[in-house]
Amino acid sequence: MIEKPHHLPRRLGLLSATAADPFLGEDLLRGTQGHGGVDLAKVVERLPEDDARWEAEPLRELVEDAMHAFRDRRTEADAWLAPRLHATLRVTRREAADRRLWTHLALAVAPDYVAWRHLSVPASGGGEPRINRARFKGALDRQCFSRLWWAAEMFRDGKDYSPVVAACGNQDLIHSALRRDLIDHRPTAQALIRVLGRGVAGTGREIEGLMTAINAAGATLVYDALAPDEPRDPEALRQWVAAAESAPPVPRHFLPDGPDDGPVPEESVVALTDYFAELFETAPVRGRAPQG
């Protein structure tokens, strides 16, 4: 397993996929040896020096704590890290949509974490363990850190991160949900957590079947009409982002608070939870006998 980089950047930056390619060598992808951080720093676009949000040390400390706490159960690190990553890296959705930010975090600040979390045997079952390139510089729903930040953003209930823990505790859910725009409807996201909490859908096939049914039903049923949402308070988010400079380190043993931009209406979550549970009864699930 690769070690902590010898040259750690003091601040986050923007690293394009093209600039990252030369550093994604076979030794790194096999998890045997890191890269030269000094050379990598030469191709990074700097972020504003006067913005405290781009300090790399708090993020580095987070991933080290995750690797220590979950050293024998690495998949469980997602549920712990996602809310704390979101609360530490206080960025807007527009900023979080820039893949270059996440590529720099993965390749320059925490490549050892990416290797620790995502080094695996190929799905085909043959060959040596390796890391998929997408974990360093891939789509937002696949990249090691962006997938966790976006899961926290989509599944938080206002400032409450507890639904994020439940969501990230199920790899099939976050893998399926983050690929669909429908999850941007907050009552839908919260209802999914509740449906799983009822034990309605548990296996990967069942979750995919449920998500497919929800997505198909959404083409003819406007979920906003069935389960209206309250607009988020943009000022609360702006204040939360602006407070990054004075914010203390996120707690390790209890959940931090997210931006207090308003909870999801409870009646909307209840309505969609019941609807999704009924929808699942007739959803086509591979390997399950037809219902009714």
> CB under 8 Å to 164, separation ≥6 — which residues?
79, 82, 83, 86, 151, 152, 155, 156
Among 114-118, 205-209, 263-267, the range scoring the smallest mean pLDDT is 205-209
33-81 tens-digit pLDDT: 887 677 899 999 999 989 999 999 999 999 999 999 999 999 999 999 9
In angstroms, the CA 151 to CA 184 distance is: 10
Higher pLDDT, residue 179 or 76: 76
DSSP state of 92: -
pLDDT at residue number 102: 98
User: Residue 34 is which amino acid?
Assistant: G
User: Residue 208 is which amino acid?
Assistant: E
Higher pLDDT, residue 93 or 212: 93
Mean pLDDT computed over 153-169: 97
| Burial degree of 165 (CB within 10 A; 0-12, 13-18, 19+) | middle
pTM of the predicted model, to two decimals?
Answer: 0.93
Higher pLDDT, residue 258 or 287: 258
In angstroms, the CA 83 to CA 12 distance is: 19
Is residue 188 classed as helix, strand or coil in its secondary structure?
Answer: helix
C-alpha 186: how far from its chain's center?
A: 16
